[in-house]
Structure 1
Amino acid sequence: MAISQASRQQTPLTGRRIFVVEDEYYLADDIGRTFRSLGAEIAGPVGHLDDAFKILHDGSILDAAVLDVNIRSEMIFPVARELKARGVPFVFTTGYDRITVGPEFQDVPMLEKPIDLAAMAQKLAALIADRRN
């Protein structure tokens, strides 16, 4: 059986480590599966801020992140601040309006739920590419 052309091609996420913080189990699982199918390694997914901080402080490299704005009734902003300080690009996912994010993160892409996972993957790939330029 021949290997398909698509399976031999590398995607912009191949070999990238993507940090996923999402408390909706099925969405977190879908995000992880989608990114793994594109060759990415997943850090997480985690659904608690404590677990997110453990990954942030474990010494590993993070190439990009997907952050749900509200994790179990807690706002994700402390994690977002640390990623921003490290220069790690990220997107927010949310069911809230942009006003919830406030001016500090107005430059961060926000994807409304339900999420278009292909569009999310493209957005993260573009953010990673921009970071390298």
Structure 2
Amino acid sequence: MADMLMEDQRVLVIEDEYVVAEAIERTLTRAGAIVLGPVPSVDQAMALLDRGGRIDSAVLDINLGEHKVYPVVDRLLARGVRCVLATGNDIADVPSDYSEIARLEKPVKASSIIDALKRVDATADGKVAKINQYTSLLQLREQLIVEIDVADGSHEPLLAARLYQAVDAIDQFLKV
């Protein structure tokens, strides 16, 4: 068996070409990964994400029939999942929002998939951390607004004023 570079890593494969999907699945399984899917459509991928569960990485084709995979990529990135695009699309066809996502051009060599996922492990942490920080700050902001209402209702104007300052600081940070 191949060296277990990805032992116990849960990798979602989204690919609508059966032969390509099977080849990617075989490659990942030989490397020790637990393959989720492959799924051939955006709808099936979203349903899989709705079920929850841990996903460490994803290998995604951009074109799935007449749909693009980008809504799935957005959800995966929001969850902190490392993504690799395996596609026939030219880099110029990939929206700039996804320019930092690793991209492999089809036909993809088996070793390239594993290499790309390992590189993503090393480089994605900064971007994922920024996404997680942004999400956490938005959640904190919403919580502070609720607390401002409670402070106002309890006739605690000083507390409400301090909470407003915290919301303003978050707003300033998020604008940068």
TM range (shorter): 0.7 to 0.9
Residue 28 in structure 1 maps to residue 21 in structure 2: yes
Aligned match of 2:4 in 10, 18, 23?
10
Q: How does 1:73-112 map to 2 (within 5 A)?
A: 73-112=66-105
AA partner of residue 115 (structure 2): Q
String of CA shifts for 1:40-91, please: whole Å, max 9, x gaps: 0001000011110111111110000001000011010000111111111111
- Normalized against structure 2, the TM-score is what? 0.67
- Does the 8 A contact of 1:20 with 1:66 survive in 2? yes
AA partner of residue 105 (structure 1): Y
The corresponding residue for 2:45 is 52
Structure 1: distance between partners of 2:76 and 2:83: 8
Structure 2: 5+ residue runs without aligned partners? 127-176
Structure 2: distance between partners of 1:112 and 1:132: 23
Larger RCO of the pair (alpha carbons < 8 Å, separation 6+): 1
Structure 1: 5+ residue runs without aligned partners? 1-5
| SS of residue matched to 2:116 | helix
Residue 67 in structure 1 maps to residue 60 in structure 2: yes
**Aligned-residue RMSD, C-alpha:** 1.7
Structure 2: distance between partners of 1:73 and 1:110: 20
- Does the 8 A contact of 2:14 with 2:61 survive in 1? yes
- Does the 8 A contact of 2:102 with 2:120 survive in 1? no
| SS of residue matched to 2:113 | helix
Relative to total residues, which structure has the larger helix share, 1 or 2?
2
- Normalized against structure 1, the TM-score is what? 0.87
| SS of residue matched to 2:97 | helix
Relative to total residues, which structure has the larger strand share, 1 or 2?
1
